[in-house]
Amino acid sequence: MKRQSELSFSLSQMERAVEILDEMLLAGTCPNEHRYTTIMHGYASLGDTGKAFEYFSKLKNEGLEFDVSTYEALLKACCKAGRMQSALAVIKEMSAQKIPRNTFVYNILIDGWARRGDVWEAADLMQQMKQEGVQPDIHTYTSFINACCKAGDVLRATKTMEEMELVRVKPNVKTYTTLIHGWARASLPEKALRCFEQMKSAGLKPDKAVYHCLMTSLLSRACVVEEYIYSGILHICKIGLCSWDGDDEAADSMCRSCFFFMIGCVIVSRSSPMPL
């Protein structure tokens, strides 16, 4: 079962939730801290810091108790909106209230800094986690790898993968995809392909995002004519090797057949075989 901080809500769902909350108040039923916190998490998932803090104020003004989950909602709202200084202010208040930071709090913060590509802040949080005895999980490591890749420090991202193996945290599809994107951004398709092979060896199934990333990376290093590659991909789609429905635009969608055709183009274009 997902924690509240991991849930996502649509705007229509939030509007309905607020309507129910208002109906409760009109009926003379006072919402408890759990209901307010749920509303806060809903607005946090939308990145609406104003509403998240508004309901936090209501919770406090009514004298209700709040816990780490309440602060998780505020942090999620701040980080999703890119307001990292506000997130730090929330952390300061948590310390004043003597509410300890757990793995979920650190995950939200590390992900927030990762979105900005600030690997130094993310690394500092990783260090704080270890000092406080808080165990990083798969989400922690994946967010940190994302921060490394966005900062162009793919070697640190690779070392983080090695650390995961040591502490027996298995990378998932998102972890590998993040690292593949990192190698692709660094214009090192060979490294991206090696990571891709490791992903498959681990029994994980790549999705379209992975194939799209690899094809884009390979294109950046290919020495063959771009029109030739495009016509080849279009041909693969038209002869039915992927889900092409007759629309030329739909034929641009990535599939396994197109991907392996691309690898063939790049290998042919090189004087030596591509190392995998």
pLDDT of residue 5: 47
pLDDT (tens place) for every residue of the chain, 276 residues total: 445 445 566 667 776 777 777 777 777 667 778 888 888 888 888 888 999 999 899 888 888 888 999 999 999 999 999 999 999 999 999 999 999 999 999 999 999 999 988 999 999 999 999 999 999 999 999 999 999 999 999 999 999 999 999 999 999 999 999 999 999 888 888 888 899 899 999 999 888 788 777 777 776 665 444 554 555 555 545 545 455 444 444 444 555 556 555 555 555 555 444 444
Are 191 and 176 spatial neighbours (Cβ–Cβ below 8 Å)? no
Residue with tokens 């901080």: 5
Are 148 and 156 spatial neighbours (Cβ–Cβ below 8 Å)? yes
Structure pTM? 0.74
Q: Residue 168: is it exposed, middle or buried by C-beta count within 10 angstroms (0-12/13-18/19+)? A: exposed
Q: In this structure, is the dihedral angle defined by the CA atoms of residues 113, 119, 120 and 123, taken in order, positive or negative?
A: positive
DSSP state of 143: H
pLDDT of residue 36: 82
pLDDT of residue 276: 44
d(CA 263, CA 267): 6
Q: Which residues contact 188 (CB under 8 A, 6 or more apart)?
A: 154, 217
SS3 content of the chain, % helix, strand, coil (to 5): 70, 0, 30
pLDDT of residue 150: 92
